[in-house]
Chains A and B, each alone.
Chain A
Amino acid sequence: MSSNTKLTKTLARFQARIEAGDFYEAHQTLRTIANRYVRSKQYNDAIDLISEGAQAFLTAKQGGSATDLIFYLLEVYDAAEVRVNDTSIARLVQLLANLDPEEPNLKDVVTGMNNWSIKFGSCKYGDPYLHSVIGPKLADGGYVYEAERYFVLGTTESVKEYVSLLWEWFLQSGDKKAAGEFFSRPIFNYLFIGNIENAYAIKDSFLSKFIEWSSAAHEKIDKNGFEMWYFEDYADLNFLQLLILTCQSENVDLFRNLQSHYAGSIDQYSSQLEYLGQEYFGIKIQKPVNFMQDIMSGLLGSK
């Protein structure tokens, strides 16, 4: 019997047990057979069996068994040194899509998946497509700050998801004056990673929602291809739009000019602006001199 026919039979038996509600036994049997595949290095069969199994448990609303098998799948990915590619990612994405956002170990599952994509992919922070699915799932589970990080490192689709999350959050806040606090997050996050395109996309989508929803007095400013909205009562929204243009110019005089005009009202952004100063304008961050610390780290050989 070829391994494929054997695998099909195993899966059929497994499915029957699941349907009969025999979850514990189904889980144990599947693990035993998968172990056998792994030990004989038949990784593809192991991967097929485990991911099909996890999917069946998800369908049967057996989150505990399903996530256990997802962790097992990731172990096998690691052992088999499976690289990030369309197939290997799609398998995880499909499992994620069916995962209940209220699953208690959701965060560990997505971290496990992302860590594999870091180890066997080309991005330091993990695969963007995987992120684009992880982000909304985490947001649905209420892990907003974690979701935000994945949105920032996601795909074009993630930009829309990120705006929806921020917008919903802003509406929930019930604080119209806080628009700038919400708007500043994606602007800074995208500027930090050198993504001018997404910073502009956020500017357009978030601010048009804001204009439509609020009755904030505004005017459009349009010069030499640059468009922005001037808000009479939201200096922070004005500042942040100008900040994109300024980073784009990489002109240090403009950067200093902008900061001095808005000095005082942008104190809360000092560390963000310091970072941007370094990244876009070559302004060295001045660290306060700590003599004792320098001596100690010199002695201990750390930096």
Chain B
Amino acid sequence: RSQPISMSSPEKDFICKFVALATLQQSALSSDSKKPLQDVTNLGVALPALRYKYDHKRA
């Protein structure tokens, strides 16, 4: 399913370079890092409601 990446799109070109740069050094946080919920004191920004209604009876 995956094909070799060709540099046909500026976005793809950016992504490849960006990922290469970002993974050059070890990340400050590991991929499985998580703040324990006991230490969570802020939930961030409330996200706006979606434009779509959810119908729980249809689910």
Contact = CB atoms under 8 A, between A and B. Distances in A.
A141 B41 CA distance: 28
Interface in A211-267: 219-221, 223-226, 228, 230, 232, 235, 238, 242, 245-251, 254, 257-258, 261
B56 to A, nearest CB: 4
Nearest to A182: B50
User: Interface range on chain A: under 10, 10 to 19, 20 to 34, or 35 or more?
Assistant: 35 or more
B45 A275 contact: yes
A197 B19 contact: no
Interface stretch (A7-15, A65-73, A86-94, A184-192): A184-192
Interface string A265-276: 000100110111
A226 B22 contact: yes
B53 to A, nearest CB: 8
Contact of A200 (B12, B31, B54): B31
Interface string B21-59: 111110111111111011011111101111111111111
What's the interface size class on B, roughly? 35 or more
Interface stretch (A17-25, A27-35, A170-178, A286-294): A170-178
A181 B54 CA distance: 14
Q: Is the interface of B mostly helix, strand, loop or mixed?
A: loop
Contact of B56 (A139, A195, A248, A254): A139
B28 A219 contact: no
Nearest to B19: A223
A276 B19 CA distance: 19
A189 B34 contact: no
Interface in A58-82: none
A254 B18 contact: yes
Nearest to A192: B44
A38 interface: no
Given A194-B34, A220-B2, A275-B44, A172 B52 contact: yes
B37 A226 contact: no
Given A193-B37, A220-B2, A228-B19, 4 more contacts: A122-B38, A188-B47, A194-B40, A249-B22
